[in-house]
Amino acid sequence: MKEIRLGVAVTLTATLTSMMGAQAAHAQEKPESIDRPEADLPSAISPGKSHASKLALAKTSQQIARATVDVAEPTIEFSAESPTPTTALADQPTPQAESLTSQPPLKTAAVIPEKVTIAEKAGVLDRAALTTTAAASSAAIRPSDAKPVAAIAPPLRTDSPLATGNQSTESIETEANPAVPSPSEPTVIADSVQEKIQQLEQQQKKLQQELNLLRQQVSESKAQNLEITREDLPEGLTVTGQALFLKPRNSNIMDFARVNDSFNTAVGGKLATLDYDQSTAWRVGVNYAPKQSPWEFGATYTFFSADDQAMATEPTRSDGTPGRLLATYAHPFQNQRAASASAEANLDYDLVDLDVAYNLRPSKNLNIKFFTGLQIANLDQAMAIRYDGQDFSPNGGTVNSVNDFNGIGPKLGAEMRLMLGSGFSVYGRGGASLLFGNAKFRYQETFGSETVADLNFDRKQTLPTVNFAVGVDWTGQLSKTAKLSIGAGYEYQHWFNATRDIRFVDDASPAIFAERQGDLSMQGFFVKAGISFVF
């Protein structure tokens, strides 16, 4: 029974195929009927034939659906050598084909849907679908490949007269095999993935380029900061010369006599003292600053010498009688008078600084330099006094004192410099050192050819120092490898416990003396100039 139904389905399929062929041939012979408006179609098809064609198509569709649903798995083979009923029927004209010759052109479906519904209003079957069904029926159906065949019906044209009829057909919905992907679909998917990969690779390259650009900008910024660090500062090897106009001061009074013009014998009057004159200190230095480096290495040597001389004579009272000139530095055997007194003081100062400095640049216009190192100092002070006349006759008397210090110690400090532009800058510098060394003191007094006192002793001493300076500099480019720097400012130095003064104070006990320590300071303006070479 199932074989009979299958044969009927095949026969009907072939019949419909013949009908479609006849319709196509008729359409080619009368093209004007295709282009006619829908309003003229009823006149081309008689009412009787139209109604009969609709009924025939509806029945045919129902039979195809029933025959397809009942198909089982048994294999049915058709011989290619003997003619089949399908072939015989395909060669005979059918009435249905004649009734369809005047209908409008049909729409063909390019893809077989998974679920196909035969509408209640019968339409024209897809010619491509019918051809596919007929071709499939002639092939051998194996039990392993046999699957339900979906009834195929294309959608009805809404503008066709056949779609306006009142007749209805039974709607049959059959689930077809799952759609098999087209062989081109994997290629499309692969192309899409490949395109996405290429886009991501391009984005990665773009991000890498941006990252490299940022790294280059950071490197250039660092190099620029290093260049800014030395923009208004000497770099390379710098040789400088500096002249400092310093005025030394001793916290102890360097007196040698008292001038008394009164009539009484009480001690009074003004003191005759020594005071160092302002003198010039010379400072030379060598500094090396590697190019584009915040580090500096330098060595400087400073030499300073100052002295003073003074003289006092016995005064004359208002009545013409002589006053008194009393010695203040001599041993007090008595109130020793002198007709004249002369004194001289000398200060020699040698200083060596070995520095290591590091520059910081908090901003473009501000540079902070921290430095440390060693300081070596040699400080010599001497005072010589001579008394003549009166009690010191006939050969006079002398007093000589010498105070020497040699030491070495660490130093540290900082300098802040503000860049004003065009090579100008102002700065302030401060530093301190702690010197450890040996202090020597000698006191010798004579009266004529007789030695009154002779003291020599030395001891270990720690001598702290502080200094600061403010100034303005200008640095200009002489050539590609040379810079000129000139400046001026004010400097102050203070040496704690750097001076020593010994006095004999008791005429009843000639060996008793008193010692006083004092500070030494030096201050004054300076000018400097330097040339730096980069190689």
Q: Are 55 and 95 in contact (CB under 8 A)?
A: no
Range among 196-200, 220-224, 506-510 with highest mean pLDDT value: 196-200
pLDDT score at 274: 92
Give 270's pLDDT tier (boundaries 50, 70, 90): confident
**Does residue 133 sit in helix, strand or coil?**
helix
Q: For residue 316, give the DSSP letter.
A: B
What pLDDT is stored for residue 60 in this prediction? 52
CA distance 130 to 12: 10
Mean pLDDT of the chain: 73
Average pLDDT over residues 81-109: 42
3-state secondary structure (DSSP) of residue 20: helix
Residue of higher predicted confidence among 6 and 410: 410
Pairing of strands 324-327, 513-533: unpaired
**What are the structure tokens assigned to 339, written together?**
């007709």
3-class SS letters over 182-234: CCHHHHHHHHHHHHHHHHHHHHHHHHHHHHHHHHHHHHHHHHHHHHHHCCCCC
Question: What is the enclosing helix (H) or strand (E) of 130?
Answer: helix 127-137
Q: At what angle do helices 2-29 and 47-69 cross, to 10 degrees?
A: 140
Q: Out of 160-164, 321-325, 420-424, 501-505, pick the least confident.
A: 160-164
Quick one: tokens of 524? 């004054």
What amino acid occupies position 259?
V
Close Cβ partners of 284 (under 8 Å, ≥ 6 residues apart): 239, 240, 241, 242, 300, 301
Work out whether the CA dihedral 214, 216, 217, 222 comes out positive or negative.
positive
pLDDT tops 50 at residue 217: yes
Mutual angle of helices 127-137 and 2-29, in 10-degree steps: 140
- The DSSP secondary-structure symbol of 399 reads E
Quote the pLDDT of residue 323: 82
**Of the candidates 410, 392, 262, 395, which has an alpha carbon nearest to the alpha carbon of residue 339?**
392
Between strands 340-363 and 450-477, the pairing is: unpaired
Amino acid (1-letter code) at residue 215: R
- On the CB side of 302, how many CA atoms lie within 13 Å of its CA? 22
pTM of the model: 0.57
pLDDT of residue 50: 47
Q: Is 168 strand, coil or helix? A: coil
pLDDT, tens only, 484-494: 899 999 999 99
Q: Which of 72-81, 190-199, 372-381, 456-465 has the largest mean confidence?
A: 372-381
Residue 524 has pLDDT above 60, yes or no: yes
pLDDT at 316: 83
For the chain, counts of helices (H) and of strands (E): 7, 15
Q: How far apart are CA 445 and CA 451, in angstroms?
A: 6
pLDDT at 228 over 60: no
Q: Which band of pLDDT confidence, cut at 50, 70 and 90, is reported for residue 222?
A: low
∠ CA 434-439-441, nearest 5°, is 150
**% of the chain at pLDDT higher than 90:** 33
In DSSP terms, 283 is beta-bridged to 242, 302
pLDDT band (50, 70, 90) for residue 183:
low
Strands (DSSP E) contained in 230-339 are: 236-250, 254-260, 270-274, 279-289, 295-313, 324-327
The pLDDT of residue 244 is 95
pLDDT at 309 over 50: yes
The pLDDT value recorded for residue 335 is: 59
Report d(CA 443, CA 454) in Å as an integer.
6
Mean pLDDT of 431-454: 90
pLDDT at 69 over 70: no
Amino acid code (one letter) for 454: D
Residues in the chain: 535
State both tokens at 60: 């045919």
Name every residue whose Cβ is closer than 8 Å to that of residue 66 and which is 6 or more positions away in sequence.
5
CB contact set of 174 (below 8 Å; sequence gap of 6+): 65, 68, 69, 115, 116, 148, 150, 151
| Alpha carbon distance 27, 184 (integer Å) | 35
Residues 304, 281: Cα–Cα separation, whole Å: 4
Q: How far apart are CA 193 and CA 377, in angstroms?
A: 81
Cα separation, 405 vs 74, whole angstroms = 128
Contacts of 110 (CB under 8 A, 6+ apart): 128
Average pLDDT of 330-353?
A: 87
Q: Which residue has the tokens 């000589």?
A: 400
3-state helix, strand, coil in the chain (%, to 5): 25, 45, 30
pLDDT at res. 223: 56
| Rounded Cα distance, 533 and 219, in Å | 26
